[in-house]
A and B are shown apart, each in its own frame.
Chain A
Amino acid sequence: MREVGADRLKPRHRDTGQWRALVAERRQVYGREKLRRQIPRLMLSDGRAFYEGLGAQVDSEGAINGSPVSPGVVEGMVRVVLDPRNAQLALGEILVCPGTDPSWTPLFLAAGGLVMEVGGLMTHGSVVAREYGIPAVVGVNEATTRLKTGQRVRVDGTRGRIVVLPSTGSGSAVVMG
């Protein structure tokens, strides 16, 4: 019985190997691309690429600028999160991430403030930040690499500014307005 089956299925069985090879190749390409962190917002067909969001440079007062989307000022420890599935946020920490979608929303409950690399006034993360009254600055160029977990920052969601503060060792957030 097996011989008969093998005979009839020969060409298809070869195909099976090809499909699996294709899957393996695409999975490898995907895995490699997933490591890339800097993605151009805009490209021209001659190859020029534009990566920068807002506030690529620090301003004269040493602040990083972005788009203010949820008013208020908060100080707290930075927590850089790239994958919400295994992130634990201590109460009052500043959530710094590339971007959010609804699956991130539950993290907002503990966050004292929000900084995202992408986004605008009506982006998901901004809407939820306002909902929860969390100060938020978004569209901040390379925020997840310029800010480091454990740094102490002041996030001004009214003016769209982030200031890195001298470390004091205290982890609690102080909402000032």
Chain B
Amino acid sequence: MTPSVTLSIDSPDATLANAGGKGVNLVKMARAGLPVPPGFIVATDAYRQFVAANDLQPFIVIALADTNSDDPVALETASAAIRGRFAAAPLPPDLSTAILDAYRALTTDDRSPVTDHLPVAVRSSATAEDLPDMSFAGQQDTFLNVVGDAALLKAVRDCWSSLWTARAIAYRARNGIDQASVALAVVVQAMVESEASGVLFTANPLTGRRGETVIDATLGLGEALVSGQVEPDQYVVDSVAGRIVERRLGAKALAIRGQAGGGTVTVENDAAGVQALPDGAILELARLGKRVERDLYDGAPQDIEWAWAGGRLYLLQARAITSLYPLPAGLAARPLHVLFSVNHMQGMLDPFTPLGQDFLIEAFLAIGRLAGKDFTAASQRDVLIAGGRIYADITPGLRHDLARRLVVRIPGVIEPGSEQALFSVLDDPDLQPDRSGLSPAALRTLARLASIVGRRAVLAMRDPVSQRDAVVRELDLFIANATRRAAATTTLAQRLALWQTLYDEFAFGLALKLLPLLVAGMMSFYQLRRLARRELGSDLLTLEIARGLPHNVTTEMDLTLWTVAQVIRDDPASAARFGAEDAAALAEDFRAGRLPLPAQVALTAFMDRYGMRGLAEIDLGRPRWREDPAHVIGVLQSYLGIDDPQQAPDVVFRRGARVAEAAIEELVQAMPSAAEAGLARLFASRMRALAGMRETPKFTIVRMMGVVRAMLLRSGEDLVVAGVLARPTTSSSFIWRSWRRWPRPGLMGSKFQPARSETGQSEKLETCQCVRLERTG
């Protein structure tokens, strides 16, 4: 028998793959010297041997083939068929011998009470990790107070079988977990005949407060509580001060207790007035919980099952509280800080790739330099990452009484939902404003920048068209220059340096010219709303005035794409190909230059202008359209299906513009005096000229990202050639930050030039060797 069939509860060899989640967490705790009941783990290999010995795998595959995971009846049928086979299949003799040997060793373990038949608890331990927002916990069976050899072997087999409940099958189907490769470990532990037991949360699961430990406790075994049959006691402990801050006694009307000879019995209790766990044990338990969280899980909040018997506490299970959103690493609870989601402001709820995070943090550092602050990615604490999303620490702004007035208004303009969240914390006594948040120097810098922007905004109000056109020309020049310089780079070090330079050129030069145009456009918009509300009692008309706005790059992009669709429609060969082939095949053809000429030319022109855009484009690590044109081609195909001429984007756009003109006239007519009518007309014309520029800053940044990404991809290809990365595109999104933060001369310099490079004979030689090494072994 291989030793891997069972593992001791403190085995150094336990992994998620062989001991399952529950098993590996128990082993961690046991090895850290925490009070875990003695026991052993029946490893996943035992499950596999059982399945192999009884030839169950082909049966499982057949039973699940064609089973629709959305069809509960089919799932139940498949489940019943598989579990029927499990129940009838015998354990191979060497397997049962190994399990019973471990059971007997447990019986003579001096940590457990010596009896002929040690009562044990038998629990399933799944190898699938709990996912955020959802938990797989409790979906497999537990058997309590199992006594004797036959009962133990049956419980182990029943645990294995619980891998195939309809619910477990459906869960795996929904989450894309391969049904054929799943396996289950089983934890066998000496039964703790607990006087009290329950669940401990090392953070308050309702509010998220990390400084509070919440303990649910009931009498007898914890299963009554886990299965929701009793109303438990609840104790809240301030784990920083080590003090019980709340005690709520539950009815605890039922208790599950072990029965002599095996099994459990449910008894009725009249225990509403009894505190299930004494104060001393509550505090000790809270300390144990924090120890588990801090020492074993890097401070990630845990949900721990515990038992109390004979004056001793036992930990039965620990797992992460997956429903709690993670806090940024290294953020102290006090003094209180307010973190604001940048993702919501960007309308993007996906996490950022590491490269995307770096791009934004580095951009923030450039803004900091603009404001005269000199910090580094490591020293700054204003832009923080949590759960892959980006949060801004807005505490300094809230703590300063003048800045606060501005800060609380910003979210309302961009995302009212965020404003509501902000308003719900403004009254917190720890967030009251004084003058401490911002230094006088920082305020002076802000005032200086505001005056630059203000002066230029006045210019834009005076002469919007020429101001706007000048800035647009300058932006195009900036991108053209950046592209040219990027093409001239050959090493990773040069590329990272250029990336840095581009930020500063944009932040110091162009952003300060672009921003005033937006300020003028938005201010005009809000003035119009104010006038409309005053004279008409509603600002609906101003929303009409915002329709069909010119100079909006996103609208222009859409209209350009529509033009491409027209070219394809008008060319019979192109139209036939787009009508017959799927988007992925067409994308392949486009990349190979095999589309009919009119389509190839039109799409190439579109990609030259907009190919650096894409889904979640604000994340530099996400692919761009020019890397994967299938999305754009799919859109073109849907455009070709539009036969209602009234639905065509250009028609819709022109119609919107006419509606806007009419709305302006209506608003002007509603003004009480000629002077105010003139004012309304002025604001309307400024808004029409400038508000469309709203999409330009982001587009410019995305164009800049396109240059940076193309440049990094070239280094990515070099590294693939050198055998460091597996793929240039996606791998590099996950790795550049390491090179960036800890520059390594060996990788940054010219050594990783590909063989085609002309930079020098010795480098070529080394690269060749590198490549050969990768290919041969």
- The chain A residues found within 8 Å of chain B, CB to CB, are 1-2, 4-6, 8-9, 12-13, 15-16, 19-20, 22-23, 26-27, 29-30, 32-54, 67, 69-71, 83-86, 88, 98-106, 109-110, 116-125, 127-128, 130-133, 139, 141, 158
Contacts of A102 in B (CB 8 A): 554, 557, 613, 617, 695
Determine if A16 and B617 form an interchain contact, defined as CB atoms under 8 angstroms apart: no
Among A23, A44, A105, A158, which residue has its beta carbon within 8 angstroms of that of B731?
A: A23
Among B420, B555, B616, B730, which residue has its beta carbon within 8 angstroms of that of A131?
A: B555
- The chain B residues found within 8 Å of chain A, CB to CB, are 129, 131-134, 175, 203-204, 207-211, 324-325, 327, 331-341, 343-344, 346-351, 353-354, 386-389, 391, 412-418, 420-422, 424-425, 428, 522, 540, 543-544, 546-549, 552, 554-555, 557-558, 561, 613-618, 625, 630-631, 634-635, 638-639, 642, 647, 649, 652-653, 655-656, 659, 694-695, 723-726, 730-731, 734-735, 738, 746, 766, 769-770, 772-773, 776
Determine if A71 and B543 form an interchain contact, defined as CB atoms under 8 angstroms apart: yes
**Residue of B whose beta carbon sits closest to that of A12:** B746
Determine if A71 and B617 form an interchain contact, defined as CB atoms under 8 angstroms apart: no
Determine if B354 and A26 form an interchain contact, defined as CB atoms under 8 angstroms apart: yes
Among A52, A100, A105, A141, which residue has its beta carbon within 8 angstroms of that of B347?
A: A100
Contacts of B614 in A (CB 8 A): 103
**Residue of B whose beta carbon sits closest to that of A70:** B543
A-B pairs under 8 A by CB, number: 280
Give complex CA distance A134, B416 in Å: 20
Taking the nearest CB of chain A, how far is it from the CB of B769, in angstroms? 3
Contacts of A116 in B (CB 8 A): 347
Contacts of B424 in A (CB 8 A): 42, 50
Determine if A42 and B425 form an interchain contact, defined as CB atoms under 8 angstroms apart: yes
Most A CB contacts (10 A, CB to CB) among B341, B412, B422, B630 go to B341
Give complex CA distance A9, B773 in Å: 9
Contacts of A100 in B (CB 8 A): 347
SS of A interface (majority): mixed
Among A15, A69, A131, which residue has its beta carbon within 8 angstroms of that of B547?
A: A131
Give complex CA distance A106, B648 in Å: 11
Give complex CA distance A102, B413 in Å: 20
Determine if A133 and B652 form an interchain contact, defined as CB atoms under 8 angstroms apart: yes
- Given the interface pairs A41-B417, A44-B425, the reply to whether A131 lies near B132 with Cβ below 8 Å is no
Determine if A127 and B337 form an interchain contact, defined as CB atoms under 8 angstroms apart: no
Give complex CA distance A19, B425 in Å: 42
- Given the interface pairs A5-B770, A47-B203, A71-B544, the reply to whether A42 lies near B349 with Cβ below 8 Å is no
Determine if B422 and A5 form an interchain contact, defined as CB atoms under 8 angstroms apart: no
Give complex CA distance A106, B335 in Å: 46
Give complex CA distance A29, B695 in Å: 32
Determine if A85 and B558 form an interchain contact, defined as CB atoms under 8 angstroms apart: no
Taking the nearest CB of chain A, how far is it from the CB of B422, in angstroms? 6
Determine if A45 and B339 form an interchain contact, defined as CB atoms under 8 angstroms apart: yes
- Given the interface pairs A39-B389, A53-B420, A122-B414, the reply to whether A23 lies near B726 with Cβ below 8 Å is yes
Determine if A43 and B554 form an interchain contact, defined as CB atoms under 8 angstroms apart: no
Q: Which 7 pairs of residues, A with B, have the shortest CB-CB distance?
A: A53-B417, A99-B347, A5-B769, A47-B210, A139-B417, A36-B132, A45-B337
Determine if A101 and B615 form an interchain contact, defined as CB atoms under 8 angstroms apart: yes
Give complex CA distance A34, B616 in Å: 13
Contacts of B655 in A (CB 8 A): 133
Determine if B415 and A123 form an interchain contact, defined as CB atoms under 8 angstroms apart: yes
Determine if A118 and B344 form an interchain contact, defined as CB atoms under 8 angstroms apart: yes
Contacts of A54 in B (CB 8 A): 416-417, 420
Contacts of A48 in B (CB 8 A): 207-209, 425
Contacts of A36 in B (CB 8 A): 132-133, 325, 351, 387
Taking the nearest CB of chain A, how far is it from the CB of B3, in angstroms? 27
Give complex CA distance A177, B427 in Å: 41
Contacts of A120 in B (CB 8 A): 412-417
Determine if A88 and B638 form an interchain contact, defined as CB atoms under 8 angstroms apart: yes
- Given the interface pairs A109-B642, A125-B347, the reply to whether A139 lies near B325 with Cβ below 8 Å is no
Contacts of B552 in A (CB 8 A): 127, 131
Determine if B415 and A101 form an interchain contact, defined as CB atoms under 8 angstroms apart: no
Determine if A101 and B347 form an interchain contact, defined as CB atoms under 8 angstroms apart: yes
Contacts of A85 in B (CB 8 A): 615, 630-631, 634
A–B Cβ pairs within 8 angstroms, 29 of them:
A2-B773, A8-B769, A20-B724, A23-B726, A23-B735, A33-B387, A35-B134, A39-B349, A40-B325, A42-B424, A43-B327, A44-B336, A46-B211, A47-B203, A47-B327, A49-B208, A53-B420, A85-B615, A99-B346, A101-B346, A101-B615, A102-B695, A103-B615, A109-B642, A118-B415, A119-B417, A121-B413, A130-B546, A130-B656
Among A15, A33, A53, A67, which residue has its beta carbon within 8 angstroms of that of B351?
A: A33
Determine if A20 and B340 form an interchain contact, defined as CB atoms under 8 angstroms apart: no
Contacts of B695 in A (CB 8 A): 102, 124, 127
Among B211, B386, B522, B649, which residue has its beta carbon within 8 angstroms of that of A109?
A: B649
Contacts of A29 in B (CB 8 A): 388
**Residue of A whose beta carbon sits closest to that of B355:** A26
Determine if B557 and A6 form an interchain contact, defined as CB atoms under 8 angstroms apart: no
**Residue of B whose beta carbon sits closest to that of A53:** B417
Give complex CA distance A13, B734 in Å: 19
Taking the nearest CB of chain A, how far is it from the CB of B312, in angstroms? 30
Determine if B540 and A71 form an interchain contact, defined as CB atoms under 8 angstroms apart: yes
